[in-house]
Amino acid sequence: MPFRAPGAGVLGPRPPFQPQHAMTAGHRGGVPQNAFDTAALYAALNSAGVPQAPPSTSEWYFDTGATSHMSSSPGNFPSSSINPSSSVITVGNGASMPVTHQARTFIPTATHPLHLNDILISPSLIKNLISVRRLTRDNNVSIEFDPVGFSVKDLRTRAEMLRCESMGDLYLANGKKGGLNVGDRVQRSKCGSVGTLCP
């Protein structure tokens, strides 16, 4: 067996330790030098045989590693809730994505809306993300994840406010009867159960 230096594996030496932050946000002036290139990502995925599809602006995913709520399009929000921003988003590999705006909205539930404050908008994002930490702190709720989805519960009463079934690899925020329309209102009188969305 050949000699290997301590810490060197079959594939070579380990890379230096990086903190395990999925996404963080900060304020910087100017355009970041290591900005994330979405076009290059789509080109790489396309050349690898993955169909190139634009990100859905209506799908929102829960992320336990995100420090802020994040969206790819200002079109997801009413114009009155959008403000310009010059922050950046730093992703797990250290790349930075420019933030063009900040917004706010809510997730409808049968009891009271869940507020999404200070949403960072960056056209470079591929998915819309709901920060679990920010959602729980801003709304005084808990989130219980299970193999088929998750439940959002009032922290004080433990009453279920929203139940989303999510069968994929990620926890997609959706209603029992289709997509969750962030910013739409729930009409309790027409909806029979908690978390059921109304047209």
> Do 60 and 173 touch, CB atoms closer than 8 A?
yes
What is the Cα–Cα distance from 79 to 27, expressed in whole angstroms? 23
Residue 196: inside a domain, yes or no?
no
Q: Measure the CA angle with vertex 119, ends 114 and 125; round to 5°.
A: 120
Which residues are tagged catalytic? 63
Query: Residue 199 CA to chain centroid, in angstroms?
Result: 24
pLDDT of 91: 86
DSSP E strands, 49-183: 60-63, 70-71, 83-84, 87-91, 96-98, 101-107, 114-121, 128-131, 141-146, 149-154, 160-165, 172-175, 178-179
> Do 170 and 156 touch, CB atoms closer than 8 A?
no
Residue 77: inside a domain, yes or no?
yes
Residue 9: inside a domain, yes or no?
no
Residue 13: inside a domain, yes or no?
no
DSSP designation for 74: G
pLDDT of 190: 30
What is the Cα–Cα distance from 171 to 128, expressed in whole angstroms? 12
Spell out the per-residue pLDDT of the chain, length 199, in tens: 555 555 555 555 666 655 444 555 555 555 455 555 666 666 665 665 544 455 556 788 999 999 999 998 888 787 767 888 878 898 888 889 999 889 988 888 888 899 999 999 998 888 899 999 999 999 999 999 999 999 999 999 999 999 988 888 889 887 543 345 555 443 332 333 333 333 3
Residue 6: inside a domain, yes or no?
no
The structural domain count of the chain equals 1
Residue 193: inside a domain, yes or no?
no
pTM (predicted TM-score):
0.63
Residue 114: inside a domain, yes or no?
yes
Q: Residue 58 sits in which domain range?
A: 23-179
Residue 113: inside a domain, yes or no?
yes
